[in-house]
Amino acid sequence: MKRWPNEVAQFDMPHYSTMAFEQFLASRGCFREGTKVLDIGSGLGANFGYFSGKNPGVSFLGLDYNADKVEAGKHLLAEKNILCVDLELGDWFNLPPQYVGQFDGIYNCHTLCCFKRIEPALQAIISLSPRWLAFNSLFYEGPMDVLIHIRDYNKPAITDDNPDGDFNIFSLANIRDILSSNDYVLVGDEPFYPPKDLPRPAGGSRGSYTMRTELHERTQFSGPVYLPWRFILAERRA
């Protein structure tokens, strides 16, 4: 498949962050046998395809707004014989009413940093009343969001209003307040650093790489931008 080669490759070679995020969730009791979990903003489905292989007793549904990706993802999932999964077309901010109460957990990998504000994204998920919700994204332990957009001269199709150029970092303090006001509490928070060095892309182009800093021996960057990747998990109060 020529389109989305990086996503397609992840079906056979999952990212370190995907494997670590699954361990983060599994170790905290998120994947209960017989439950259903939603991967919102799933793309082709490589992440929940990997999660399903590790948790065969759980049913996974992926949701994405890109109809071409949904169609291609369905073919890939069937081709690779990945079971107990499905992929649907849908809008994060206009979720079907039948989704309410259907999912034990809802998670997202890497999409939050493309939004300008986190409140609407959180409220949409909370409205479905899952037992838990989780994110793999960029977060800061402080009272501010940081909005970053990359203007990539090697990829002029990514215009200034294209969210694919965003690396937005959201305040954990604000997230805790939003969760608390909706009867959820943050129960897991863990920084992610890859287990191996990632080389810098040639010519200074966009792409994750690691560098030793005071923060960590494998601090992550893309171009000049520091990437504070974290896993967070919230649960609904009993």
Confidence of residue 14 (pLDDT cuts 50, 70, 90): very high
Measure Cα distances from 16 to 39, 100, 111, 163, 185 in Å.
Answer: 18, 32, 17, 24, 27
Q: Residues 76-103: pLDDT tens digits?
A: 999 999 999 999 999 999 999 999 999 9
Residue 49 pLDDT: 97
Closest by alpha carbon to 18, among 7, 29, 33, 4? Answer: 7
Confidence of residue 210 (pLDDT cuts 50, 70, 90): very high
- Angle between the 172-181 and 119-126 helix axes, to the nearest 10 degrees? 30
Domain CATH number, residue 168? 3.40.50.150
Q: How many domains does the chain have?
A: 1
Confidence of residue 231 (pLDDT cuts 50, 70, 90): very high
Measure Cα distances from 28 to 47, 56, 193, 235 in Å.
Answer: 18, 17, 19, 11
- Residue 136 in this model has a pLDDT that exceeds 80: yes
- Residue 2 in this model has a pLDDT that exceeds 80: no
**Which amino acid is present at 221?**
F
Residue 202 pLDDT: 93
Q: Residues 142-181: pLDDT tens digits?
A: 999 999 999 999 989 899 999 999 999 999 999 999 999 9
**Which amino acid is present at 130?**
P
Residue 238 pLDDT: 84
Residue 207 pLDDT: 92
Residue 1 pLDDT: 59
Block residue for tokens 């990437």 = 227
Measure Cα distances from 204 to 43, 193, 201, 221, 228 in Å.
Answer: 27, 21, 6, 11, 19
Residue range(s) defining the domain that contains residue 95: 5-236
